[in-house]
Amino acid sequence: MGGVIGSQNLFQNFKMQIPHYTRIHNRFLLNGYPYDRNGLKEVAYSFIKEGDQYEKYMGDFLMDWLDASETIELVTSGTTASPKRMLFKKQALVNSAIATGEYFNVSVGDSALHCLPANFIAGKMMLIRAMILGFSLDLVSPARNPFHKNTKTYDFVAMTPMQAFHSLANLDQVKTLIVGGAFVSKSLQNALLKTSVKAYETYGMTETLSHIAVRTMEDPPSEFRVLPYVEISQDDRGCLIVNSDLLQVDHFVTNDAIELKENGCFRLIGRVDEVINSGGIKLHPQQIERKLSEVLSLHFFIGGVADAELGQKVILAIKRTPSLDLNSLIEKIKNHNRLENFECPKSIYVFDEFSETNSGKIKRKETLNTKPNQVLDL
């Protein structure tokens, strides 16, 4: 097992006292209006009864947050397995919110945009941060471009990579942006560096109450720094283990293979349950995807399928678009000099749609279990 890296001394280092989970900050605004607990219950009821789907999700979460229980049930996204229901103390979510505010230097009165679905942890945590830290929060639909017809500026925004990509022309309206839920491609990273926004890629999950590690766009690819309230180590598989008294996370073992670095950093390699064994060589799809993202901007993933000679062969799964040019795609792959021979896809599988979770994450195995619309051998 790898050595422990990180620190959990943040309790005494917080600039502000950690409030009780029942507190709603007196500077909190939702869509420009102040609310206390009773007012938020009325908003929640209205969202559930009359709102759009994203507002119904928000209403459901608010009703759970504002009830008399000190715990709340959260559901994992179900990307690689069936969604799991987990019970957390509400105070742990408040602790996470305070820690985020401290790390990214956001505080009372700052403006924030909520554009993530509230039925998943990232959307829930954005609301909790606003209520606890006293943000002025605008709630909008979790669309591909949340800034459509929105010219306001914001101090703090959280997005998925897809949203960030479609919002590039608007990101000068944002001071600090955190991007999570999927990896940030090389092309998106380069595009973000050309804007004025201070952007971070985050690493986390429901089980860790959102992000526990971050990297800037200037940092080496896949290399994350753990936040001050987190300790990490490795199991015998080389997978990340997370501990945090602040988040009440006790020895949570992930399926993410990592390389431990110095000074509280780790390099994310990929999920051990998605490894492709091709001709005796074990390949992590995420590593190949990061290389291909330097030359491909379409919706894709790397998978492994049964092969008589290799055991498993590497394939590139892509989603068909009206502008798809397969000849150009094949040329880019064959001319990409950063791919090793054994990493090069042996076939391209074209799908009209990928199987995805409700939060938009690709279900790789389910997608590959469906028949592709077209197969091209390379």
Domain 5-271 architecture: 3-Layer(aba) Sandwich (3.40)
Q: Which residue has the higher pLDDT, 53 or 359?
A: 53
Mean pLDDT over 105-130 rounds to 95
Residue range(s) in the chain whose domain bears CATH number 3.30.300.30? 275-377
Q: Which helix (H) or strand (E) holds 231?
A: strand 231-234
Tell me, what's the pLDDT at 295? Answer: 86
The answer to whether residues 102 and 14 touch, using CB atoms and an 8 Å cutoff, is yes
3-state SS class at 114: strand
Q: What is the mean pLDDT of the chain?
A: 91
Helix intervals (H) in 303-353: 326-334
How distant, in Å, are the alpha carbons of 73, 107, 112, 165 from that of 132?
19, 10, 13, 29
Residue 166 CA from chain centroid, whole number: 16
Does the pLDDT of residue 357 top 50, yes or no?
Answer: yes
Query: pLDDT above 70 covers what percent of the chain?
Result: 94
Task: Determine the Cα–Cα distance for residues 184 and 240; give it in Å rounded to an integer.
Answer: 20
Question: If you write DSSP's letter for every residue of 118-179 in order, what string do you get?
Answer: TTSHHHHHHHHHHHHHT-EEEE----S-TTTT----EEEEEE-HHHHHHTGGGGGGEEEEEE
Provide CATH code, domain 275-377: 3.30.300.30
Q: Which residue has the higher pLDDT, 286 or 77?
A: 286
Mean pLDDT over 38-49 rounds to 97
Residue range(s) in the chain whose domain bears CATH number 3.40.50.12780? 5-271
Residue 100 CA from chain centroid, whole number: 15
C-alpha distance across the termini of the chain, in Å: 41
Q: Half-sphere exposure of residue 190, counting CA atoms within 13 Å on the CB side?
A: 7
Query: pLDDT above 90 covers what percent of the chain?
Result: 73
